[in-house]
Amino acid sequence: MPHKIAILGASGYTGAELVRLIATHPAMEIVAMAANSKAGLKMADVFPHLRHLALPDLVKIEEIDFSGVDLCFCALPHATSQEVIRDLPKSLKIVDLSADFRLRDPAEYKKWYGNDHAALECQAEAVYGLTEFYRNEIRTARLVAGTGCNAATGQYALRPLIAAGVIDLDEIILDLKCAVSGAGRSLKENLLHAELSEGYHAYAVGGTHRHLGEFDQEFSAVAGRPVRVQFTPHLIPANRGILATVYVRGDADAVHETLAATYAEEPFLQVLPFGQHPSTRHIRGSNFCHIGVVADRIPGRAIVVAALDNLTKGSSGQALQNANLMLGEEETAGLMLAPCFP
């Protein structure tokens, strides 16, 4: 008997990516899909690339009978998500892809997102969904909060180094190059092809990107003292991918050894041989994260480069990985698709 799955917010890119991945999953069946603005349409009308699949029609959330659902993916916009999840049955397992339950401290939540949190009791039980570091808590969680795609990339590069004490905690700079699908399917002038193709630029410069809330929370927790990093994302004319170039102070060999040892048994985290570094083309459409370490010419400095697909390992793939744990399935089920290159 496959697990019965619902997807809320199915008309966005992360919703479509969930469907793409679950389509090859041996033990999941999508029984309900909601997209309020597109209710009444077939998924193939919204995403013609999924037209070969037998999928339920899109409905409004309130039309779903959750009694027949084992697990619900919630791919709704920030702020909306918390109100919806608050009112879902308490017996339902939920993987949330929004930012609503990532920050444990309500004050931090308000600082980065601007509004008072509307579901603090849910936030209290939510587990942070960076699978490789919260595996045990996720297995038994009812509500898992998917990480930000930038936040995931940066943490894969840095968490083991902070934990091992091999880098200077006050000298961390993350320069990220992000593909455009991370901004979703929203109608904004700077996401138009004519604006973005052949053009690229930084955004949220100076420490204003909301994913910094996650970095602050997680890195400080790992270090046992406050850690503040510099983080500058850039929008790149490509559809999928995040490349994080991370500047750290510490012994480059120790940095590499720490990452290699930490991820030695991880199915999705691939540490390249010392001195090599990854490209986004080699993880596109997959749940893999490639990480490389290079020593700088200045002694005591190293560059860590991490690459993942923002829609897969950075969002929907990670969500499915967490759902697998919550449902007692093989963690890699539906996720071993090879990257799509070229």
Dihedral sign, CA of 141, 145, 150, 154? Answer: negative
Residues 171-190 that bind its own copies (CB under 8 A): 173, 175, 177, 180-181, 183, 185, 187-189
Considering only the stretches 58-66, 122-130, 154-162, 305-313, report the one whose residues sit in contact with its own copies under the rule CB under 8 A.
Answer: 305-313
Determine which residue in the list 137, 142, 279, 327 makes contact with its own copies, applying CB under 8 A: 279
Residue 254 φ/ψ, nearest 5 degrees: -65, -40
- Asked if 234 is part of the footprint of its own copies (rule: CB under 8 A), the reply reads yes
Shortest Å distance, C-beta 37 to its own copies:
12
DSSP 68: G
Q: Find where tokens 């749940």 sit.
A: 287
Residue 342 interacting with its own copies (CB under 8 A):
yes
d(CA 335, CA 342): 19
Which residue among 20, 25, 38, 210 contacts its own copies (CB under 8 A)?
20
Q: Does 228 bind its own copies (CB under 8 A)?
A: yes
Site for its own copies in 113-172 (CB under 8 A): none
Catalytic residue among 72, 74, 122, 149: 149
Q: 236, 255, 291, 323: which one contacts its own copies (CB under 8 A)?
A: 236
Q: Which of 219, 288, 291, 329 binds its own copies (CB under 8 A)?
A: 288
CA distances from 331 to 70, 91, 132, 274, 342 (A): 17, 22, 11, 28, 27
Binding to its own copies by residue 220, rule CB under 8 A?
no
- Give yes or no for residue 264 binding its own copies (CB under 8 A): no
Instruction: Identify which of 77, 116, 117, 119 has the alpha carbon closest to the alpha carbon of residue 99.
Output: 77
User: CA nearest 314: which of 185, 142, 158, 154?
Assistant: 154
| Residue 178: active-site member | no
Please tell me whether residue 206 binds its own copies under the rule CB under 8 A: yes
Chain residues 53-82 in contact with its own copies, contact rule CB under 8 A: 53
Count of residues near its own copies by CB under 8 A: 85
224 is a site residue for its own copies (CB under 8 A): no
* Encoded amino acid at 317, one letter: G
Nearer residue to its own copies within complex by CB, 56 or 267 = 267
d(CA 321, CA 312): 10
Is 277 among the residues that bind its own copies (CB under 8 A)? Answer: yes
User: Which residues share a beta bridge with 304?
Assistant: 246, 293
User: What number of CA atoms fall less than 13 Å from residue 241's CA on the CB side?
Assistant: 22
Catalytic residue set: 149
